[in-house]
Each structure stands twice: as structure tokens, then as C-alpha cells.
Chain A
Amino acid sequence: MNKEQFLKSGLIEQFVLGITSPEEAAEVERYAATFPEIQEEIIQLREAIEDYAKQYAIEPPSGTKDAILNEIDTIQYRANTNTSSNTWLSWLPMAAILASVILAFNFYQKKNQVEKVLFETENQFVAFQKECEEEKARLQPIQDRYAFLTNKATQAVNITGTGLSPDANVVVYYNAEEESALLNVLNLPAPPAGKTYQMWADVEGVMIDMGVFEVNDPSLREMVFIKHAESLNITLEPLGGSDHPTVSLLQANGKVQA
């Protein structure tokens, strides 16, 4: 359509009355933008229709204007109070998140503390366990010894001094079932220089070596166990001990119960 055709099309009039479709309105706007005469025509037609409309003007009841302006005030006031409460509400999620973070951090710290305590406790436990094992290991031989000494099969053989050593007093705990002999020196003078005490078991008249021993050792000592000993004898022998006892130097002896 050229400009003249468009002016006669009736679209401009419909546009001014506001009854064009959006597509038609866009077309009118395009023409108006291109042709100043069409723009001018639109303005004049609008003025005409507005003036025509004014013929119907009637003064509204008094108070209408005030009522409108008051209502605007009310709406604005309400909107403002709403906005402020909205701002308040919009803070809620933020506050909730903040609280959660603080709480989570708190829990995290507590968890760390508890873990530390647990770790320390575990270490202590391991240490105690080790100590306990050691203690048990230490105690075991003592208990074994005690059990041995209180065993009915164990007899305490008192070895008492001969004329050569009247104050000698030695006990040997002799157990034939367990085949074990323990020496406890109660009183025995220190051996002369170059000599050592040696113990012998008398089996059917034959002296069998049970080993040499020191005097100043207060603990119980294992001696070599000899079966069917009838008596236990102590002689003084050269250092290192002898294969056969020097009977002339018999210091002490004691009988073993059969």
C-alpha cells in the first residue's frame, strides 16, 4: 500500500479508536514512523475523538477526587508496611542459614573434641593393655612358683649343717612328679677363697651332681633334678665344681622322704 491508499484504508481510524489487532497496530505505527503526514493525521483524529468524548463530560459527585486520593494514601501506607514486613521475612531464611552454620560449626568442634578424647583414651587403653600383659608375664613365674611350693607333691628338704658348718641352713623344695628342685639358701657362710658350694643327690649310695651355687643370692634357684634322691648333700669344691664330691668337706645334708 502506498501512503494515499493507506490513508483511505480505514486502518488509521480503527487504530485511533483502539480496535485494531496488534499486527494492524504495528503496521499503522510503521507507516506513522515513515510518513509524518500519517503521524499528523493520527494526532488530529485523536484530538477530534477526545473532544467528541468531552461532550459527554459530567461533573462527578463532589468528594470523589478526595476519596481517590485518600485511597491511594491508604494503599501506599499498606504497601509500605507490607514491604517492611516483607524485608523482615526475607531475613528469616538468612537467619536460619546463619543459625544452621553456627550450629554445624559447634557440632563440628564438639565432634573434633570427642574424637581427640577418644583417640587419647584408645592410646591409654593400649598402654594399659600392654602394661597389663607385662604385669601378667611378670606375675606368671611367681604364681607358678607359688603353685609349685604349695603343691602337695613338693617336699621341703631341710639341709642342716655338719660339724664343719654347724649353722648351715638350706632348704630344697623337691618335687618328684614335676621333676624339679628349687634351692633356698637361708644361712650358709661364704665359701673360702678358691672354693664353691656344690650340691649332690645320693641315689643308692652314688653321689650325683646337682650343680654349684652362690651363697649371697637370696632368690630361689633351680637345681638339676635327680630322680630317686635319698638325701641331698652340700660339699665345698674347687671353683667350677667337681665330678665327684669331696666327701671330707661335707658341709650339710638332709634326708629326702621317699
Chain B
Amino acid sequence: MKNQEKNIIQGLQQQDKKIIALLYDQYGPTLYGIILKIVQSEEVAQDVLQEVFIKIWKNGTRYDTKKGSLFTWMLNIARNTAIDKTRSASFRQKAKIQDLDQTVYNNASLTTEQNTDVIGLKNFVNGLEEKYREIIDLVYFRGYTQKEVEKHLNIPLGTVKSRVRIALRELKRIFDEQKINIIVLVLSQLG
């Protein structure tokens, strides 16, 4: 895993097209899902995803391992590009036609249902309480600052900060449990 990431970073710095193909296979669906959550339109999300990978390819030389994981870096690009898109005039025009709230609801439920079924980790997301899921969604997927979350949810900053912390702890706990469950499952199948 470490070596693979090294190769990827090296490839990014050399603007290697093959690395973009590899990153697309590995992270394309995740980034697309998150973009879709923000822009609420498959057509727009496809454009944004394309734009995002071009940016990844172009700015690969600027990626610094010290500033965060490769995924977080790509996620930031995806998130910012998607948010920029929602602010563009053409996007707002479209949003007027569609009932945005309705699509938000539909897409959110669709996304969660579909993929947890496929991956078989339904409990993973479900295991996270709504208030933590909300925090992660706002901060990680939508790029809110903690102050913006404070205003948006009308809760004190201290509470935002502690929820951020607990949400990640919870994610880690669920993630660890999930690994154990899989091991147990595999072992029981073998047994």
C-alpha cells in the first residue's frame, strides 16, 4: 500500500496519464458520489468529475504528502470544484427548474442504500448517529468551517468541535469493528 502510494505520487508529479486512469478506477466512484451529493445532477456531476481529474492531473506536481492524504487532497479538489459549480449562474438557472430539496432527499437515500448494499457494510453508515453523520457531511463533504457549522446548525462552537472529534472516533470504532466482523465472517465461512 505504501509503495503503491509512492508510485502514484511519483506518477502524479510526472503527469503520467496512466496514474490518472488508476486513480479514476480507485477513487472515481467515491468522488463522483460526493460531487453528486453537492451538485444534485448526474449531468453536472459528470462534468465536475471530469474537471476534477483534469485538475488532479494538472496540479499533481503541487501535491504535498505533508499536507494530508492523497484522498483528502483529491476530495478537496472535488468538493471545491463542485461547490464552485453550484455558485455558477448556469447552475442556479437549472436549480430553479428542478425541485432541489426533493432531489437532495432522493439522491441521499439512493446513494446510501445502493452502495452499502453492494459493499455489504450497511451497519457502517447506519452505526453512525445522525448528528455525527451530519457533522461529517457538512465538514468533510461540503467543506464547511466549524464556525459555519455553528451558524448552520445553531449549536455552540465547542459542541461542533467535540462532535467532530467524536464522529471520527466513532467512525474509527465502526471501521475497526467492521474489520473484525469480516474476519469473523471469513473465519466462520472457512470453519
Contacts and interface: CB of A to CB of B under 8 A. Distances in A.
B63 interface: no
B54 interface: yes
Contacts of A54: 30, 115, 119
B47 to A, nearest CB: 9
A27 interface: no
Interface string A45-59: 111111111111111
Contact of B140 (A25, A53, A60, A61): A53
Interface in B58-80: 58, 66-69, 71-72, 75-76
B119 to A, nearest CB: 7
B54 A68 contact: yes
Contact count band on A: 35 or more
A177 to B, nearest CB: 114
Nearest to B71: A50
A75 B50 CA distance: 13
Interface in B20-47: 20-21, 24-25, 28-30, 32-34, 36-37, 42, 45-46
Nearest to A51: B175
Interface SS of B by simple majority: helix
B32 A58 contact: yes
Nearest to A60: B32
Interface stretch (B87-95, B98-106, B165-173, B183-191): B165-173
B57 A56 contact: no
A57 B33 contact: yes
A16 interface: yes
Interface of B: 17, 20-21, 24-25, 28-30, 32-34, 36-37, 42, 45-46, 49-50, 53-54, 57-58, 66-69, 71-72, 75-76, 111-112, 114-116, 119, 121, 124-125, 128, 136, 139-141, 145-146, 161-162, 164-165, 167-169, 171-172, 174-175, 178
Given A44-B172, A46-B71, A48-B171, 17 more contacts: A17-B164, A19-B145, A19-B146, A45-B171, A46-B72, A48-B168, A50-B30, A51-B124, A51-B178, A52-B175, A55-B115, A55-B119, A56-B34, A56-B37, A60-B28, A60-B32, A72-B54
